[in-house]
Amino acid sequence: MKKIITATALFMSILGYSQIHVGVKGGVNMNKLDGKNFDSDFELGYQLGGFAYYNFTDFVGVQGEVLFNQTNTKITDNYKDVFNDAFKKDKTLNYISVPVLLRLNSEGLITVVAGPQFSFLASGNETVLNNSKKLFKKTDFAFVAGAEVNIRPVTIFTRYVWGFSDVSDFGAKANSHQIQAGLSLRLL
């Protein structure tokens, strides 16, 4: 037991002096799917996850995240006759998102972040008739850009996410768009 405590203390002290920082984050998503078959209004969702970043200098760093993202959307009335009997119009899509971001002014008061994001559809609605996995593709590729206000150890962030992939498996092409805002807490 003494060895485990000593090893843990040593590991924590090394991380405390390194340029690697880890933490947790959460916030809201305002999202929509741009496409002929979807409502063009932004819908409210949420995100939870963790992050780790490494600073090459005080100005430049790289950040990776793993996030649970909830995307909500509504199918428009264009397919009312086809879908009303078989499917609900409200869809909840749960994604595991992995953004890899370049950080500029990484240790400053305001940090700018940008980079690609890969998302994997984790689940849709639960029942067979409402299963969103049958209506939506399993992956999404997007570009993320945003800013953070750093009040260590808390950070306030806002981002815009542009989806490049067609996420619809039925009808016309649809791309995702998200406005994200929230808080993160740097633990190390």
> What would the 3-class secondary structure string for 31-93 be?
EEEEECCECCCCEEEEEEEEEEEEECCCCEEEEEEEEEEEEEEEECHHHHHHHCCCCCCEEEE
Residue 24 in this model has a pLDDT that exceeds 60 = yes
The mean pLDDT of 98-116, rounded to a whole number, is 92
Q: Which pLDDT does position 128 carry in this prediction?
A: 40
Q: Please state, for a pLDDT cut of 70, what percent of the chain lies above it.
A: 63
Q: State the chain's mean pLDDT as an integer.
A: 76
Question: Mean pLDDT over residues 48-74, rounded?
Answer: 87
pLDDT value at 83 more than 70: no
